[in-house]
Amino acid sequence: MDPGLDDDLFPANKYCPLCGVVLLCEELEDDPETRRPWYAEVRGVAKENFSDIFMTGVGFMSARETLCAPLDEELDYLTADEEALYDVDLLQAESERHGFGLHDSCWMLLQDRLWHTIDSDKIAHSLYNQFYCTPCPYRSSLSFGHDYGGAKRWQRALDDMGMPEDMPPLLQTDPYAIPLLEKLEENAPDVDGRRESPPAYNTTSTDINTGYRNSFGRLSSELLYEVVSYLSVPELLDLRCTSQELSQRLVFSSLPQSFWKSQFARGSSMDFLFPDLEQSRDWFRLYRGTLSILQAKDQSPEQLSLLNRKRIRELLEPIASVVEADSGRSKEPRGRRANCMELRPGQWFVSEGLNQWRAENIYTGYLTLETEYLPHGCHVPRYRIGAFPQSMPRGGEMKISTVQLGARVFISGISLQEGAVGYGGLTGLVTIKVPPRATFNQIEVAFCPEGLRGIRFHFGGNTTSDWVGDTLDKDMSYGVLRIPHSPCGKYHIFAGTDVSTSSTTTESMTNACKAHKITAIGTIHNESREERSSKPFWLDYPLDLTLPDSYLWQSERPSYDNLRIYQFPTENLGTPYRPLMNIDFGGPNGEWLDSLLSMEVHVSSEFSPILGMTFNYSDKTLRFGECTSDKKLTFSIDGSGGERITDVVGSHHKPEPRNGVPALRSIRRLRQPNGGLSK
């Protein structure tokens, strides 16, 4: 649970995971006879009896954490009998009937994006899996790594008022209340012949004309139109400016209807309208009519609806792409089933059936045992193990599957020859070329609390593959897994994937839903023993916690030779996600210390007490970690009386029951000029 949050006393406002606008709970004495505002009409991606996932009908929020809706997708709160309305507990996965709420307008937009080709039950399954494995701080708004196109700024998890009075009108406008396409066509302004005329050129250079004659000038009008059909309108405008001949041939009013229809296809600027591309219509007129409303200086309800629809359309794309991928793939990750437990930091017990395997090292995201919802990090994963070759004399190809969840890209699967772990067939696939006579030495990884974000492989001879995935996002940490070598020429990759199930019973685990990303990865020796062996591997081969590569690092890994790390509380059990921070404030050979003036420790009241540190020098400032918190402790290096810091001690106390805020206490020892000490 999030510290300091009592959900019974302070139920949080809920926000739509598709658009980021509040699911408004209206406190009405009587049910309205007319429809509620669009942001108060809510559907639920619901799960009942811990197995059946479905989309509810249109309902309303009877409380901040409760959706009241018919279970039949075709009904709504106005047409259904009162006996047909049921409560769905939002973000409470231990409840018998629970789920996630979303606006009915956003649901219809998602169906439009999917062209109504996927059964709603399959869509609901995919949405539930995506939402359940996405962090939701304070049980309020799913954290997809973006700001919901500006809507996040107006989210107030614990505010008494669900919709701020000063929220922009655009976010309050129904994205499904746009004008009919025929009305948009009628709104199209006439073509301005003066704007269609070629631009004036100040040069008579023959280079441009020669280039035109040797390229586009050789094409017939039909072929030229076919080429430009792959361009957007702004790109076409840029192309017209490169040559007077092109500006004369590429006149907007003369372009074929196929060009203008392509501007409404998926991935184009007008795709948020979702028109039927099989219909016959004046696509140029529709484009002009829509653009004139979007560019009008005076805000109208039609303009606001179109702009909000365009905003939500961009947010929908990653979610819709995963829905499409889920409809045709297996729910089981690749690899052999395995189990894993960290008995102490660095002491991994890995088993497969009746055998245990020797782990080299394993990295994970921030694992949480919370089952009702995901406050941060990722769920405890289910594990798979797969055999991979240590070398490839003839070279070859390695396939890395990726998936985009919100604004973030994760690694979802790895495959090479016969070996594979994780998922394939999701939203991205990258091929790594393995050079001939390659020997695999290391796997470099980039993690965030939610899972594996990036990966690259190091081969012999200082050859390295390119990074696959994200590596430069915030809250990232980095590590290196050594690939163990054995006489048989094989090693094993151990991978954990998100579990999308709200119960840990055997039946529910058997019917576990599809997950998407790798949340744990490690390398395993090709060496096994019986599970009940008197000498388990974790006792014979404990991870050396003094080595830098035993840890993930929030900043760049230290590169010093023979570096050892000591004085860490190795008996401290907890989440395996323990990234360290390399705070090198002394500079090469300590040359920065003479100019060091002060340091600041930035602290937080959440689960990670120290966020970052700032070091102020006479000529610069260095920041490590997150240094935006207004809660900070400042230490002067050289006091007015000649004081010096000799020791800093920090302690993390348990939260006080009254407010649930953990305290960070720092004690400063300052050496006085006369040799005395003060605190």
**What is the secondary structure of 347-383 as a DSSP string?**
EEEEEETTEEEEEEEEEE--EE---S--SSSEEPPEE
> What is the rounded average pLDDT for all residues in the chain?
85
pLDDT at 671 > cutoff 80:
no
Strand order across the beta sheet in which 408-416 lies: 419-422, 408-416, 396-405, 428-434
Helix (H, G, I), strand (E, B) or coil at 97: strand
Q: Distance between alpha carbon 7 and the CA centroid of its chain, in Å?
A: 25
One domain, residues 251 and 313: yes
pLDDT of 614 reads: 92
One domain, residues 513 and 417: yes
One domain, residues 200 and 252: yes
**Domain membership flag for residue 28:** no
pLDDT at 137 > cutoff 80:
yes
One domain, residues 198 and 243: yes
pLDDT band at 4 (very low <50, low <70, confident <90, very high): very low
**Domain membership flag for residue 670:** yes
Residues 637/616, Cβ–Cβ less than 8 Å? no
Residues 306/317, Cβ–Cβ less than 8 Å? no
pLDDT of 310 reads: 98
One domain, residues 345 and 314: no
Within 10 angstroms of residue 371's Cβ, the number of other Cβ atoms is 14
pLDDT band at 560 (very low <50, low <70, confident <90, very high): confident
Domain end residue (candidates: 550, 566, 599): 550
Nearest alpha-carbon partner for 523 in 475, 486, 548, 561: 486
Range of the domain at 186: 181-325
User: Quick one: average pLDDT of 134-144?
Assistant: 95
Residue with tokens 């509620």: 36
One domain, residues 430 and 532: yes
**Domain membership flag for residue 571:** no
User: Quick one: average pLDDT of 592-619?
Assistant: 82
How confident is the model over 635-659, as pLDDT tens digits? 887 666 666 666 666 554 544 433 3
How confident is the model over 68-127, as pLDDT tens digits? 999 999 999 999 998 999 999 999 988 999 999 999 999 999 999 999 899 999 999 999
Q: Distance between alpha carbon 161 and the CA centroid of its chain, in Å?
A: 28
One domain, residues 518 and 647: no
One domain, residues 373 and 514: yes
pLDDT at 436 > cutoff 80:
yes
**Domain membership flag for residue 627:** yes
Nearest alpha-carbon partner for 596 in 625, 620, 612, 627: 620
pLDDT band at 239 (very low <50, low <70, confident <90, very high): confident
DSSP H or E run through 85: strand 85-90
One domain, residues 389 and 480: yes
**Domain membership flag for residue 569:** no
Residues 448/365, Cβ–Cβ less than 8 Å? yes
One domain, residues 413 and 542: yes
**Domain membership flag for residue 517:** yes
Global pTM value:
0.86
- Residue 411 and residue 237: Cα distance in Å, rounded? 38
**Domain membership flag for residue 193:** yes
Domain end residue (candidates: 325, 358, 378): 325
Task: Please tell me the total count of domains within the chain.
Answer: 4
Strand order across the beta sheet in which 677-678 lies: 644-652, 664-671, 677-678
One domain, residues 69 and 165: yes
Residue with tokens 């039946």: 507
Domain end residue (candidates: 325, 354, 383): 325
One domain, residues 406 and 506: yes
**Domain membership flag for residue 242:** yes
In the chain, the largest separation of any two C-alpha atoms, in whole Å, equals 92
Residues 6+ apart with CB under 8 A from 430: 399, 400, 402, 468
